[in-house]
Amino acid sequence: MARIAFYTFGILRQPMGHEQVQGFFDRIDSVFAQAESSEGFIGRNRELRGEYASPRFFDKKIHAAAPATLSWWKNLESVCAFAYRGMHGEAMKHRHDWFLDSYWPTYVAWWIDDNHEPSREEACRKLEYLHDNGVSAAAFDFKNPFDAGGIPVALDRELMKMHIESNNIKS
C-alpha cells in the first residue's frame, strides 16, 4: 500500500538567532514531537540542519535560511489534520512574520511505495515540478489531491476529523 510523502519549504526573513524569527525556532521541537505522535505519521527525514538540498528558489548568497521538512504519512488526511491544527496550526498563523512571501509552492505531496524513503533531493524536484507544471498525480497539494492510482480525489473530511480527534487536537 502506498503512503504520502510531504515536503515543506520556506525562506526565513532573518537568520537563526534574530528576534523576528525566534518564535519559529522556539516551536521546532514541540511541533516535531506533535507530528511524531500524530495519527498516521510514519517517519521523517532526519538529516542534520546545515548543508542539504534546497529548491532553486533558495539562494544562500542572498537569503537568510530555508527551513524544510520531509515526512511520510499513512494518508493525506492525516498530514492535513496535523498541519492545520495544534501547535503547527498555531505556528502557521505567524508564517508571514517569519517567512518571505513566496512565488513558489510552500509544500508538496506525492505518493511513495511503502519501502521508499524519499530524499531531500527528490523532495526539491517535486516542489519545483509542482511550481513549473501545476498539480498532477506526480506532485499535488491539499486543494487538488490525487489518490495513489493517480485519480483526482477530494479530501475525506470525516477521516480528517477522526485524525484530529485521535490526535486530541483543538481546532
The pair phi, psi for residue 24, each rounded to 5°, is -60, -50
Q: In this structure, are residues 64 and 11 in contact, taking their beta carbons and an 8 Å threshold?
A: yes
Instruction: Give the pLDDT of residue 53.
Output: 86
Render the burial of 63-87: b for 16+ CB within 10 Å, e for the rest. Answer: eebbbbbbbbbbbbbbbbbbbebbb
- Work out the mean pLDDT of the chain and round it to a whole number: 92
Query: Average pLDDT of 77-98?
Result: 92
Q: Which domain holds residue 101?
A: 3-167
Q: How far apart are CA 159 and CA 161, in angstroms?
A: 5
Instruction: Give the pLDDT of residue 51.
Output: 58
- How many Cα atoms are found within 13 Å in the side-chain-facing hemisphere of 5? 24
Q: Which band of pLDDT confidence, cut at 50, 70 and 90, is reported for residue 171?
A: very low
How many distinct structural domains can be found in the chain? 1
Residue 157: CATH number of its domain: 3.30.70.100
| pTM of the predicted model as reported, rounded to 2 decimal places | 0.93
Q: In this structure, are residues 88 and 169 in contact, taking their beta carbons and an 8 Å threshold?
A: no
Lowest-confidence range among 4-8, 20-24, 85-89, 95-99? 85-89
Sheet containing strand 107-112, strands side by side: 41-44, 68-73, 3-9, 107-112
Structure confidence by residue, pLDDT tens digits, 7-49 = 999 999 999 999 999 999 999 999 999 999 999 999 999 875 5
Strand bridging mode 3-9 / 68-73: antiparallel
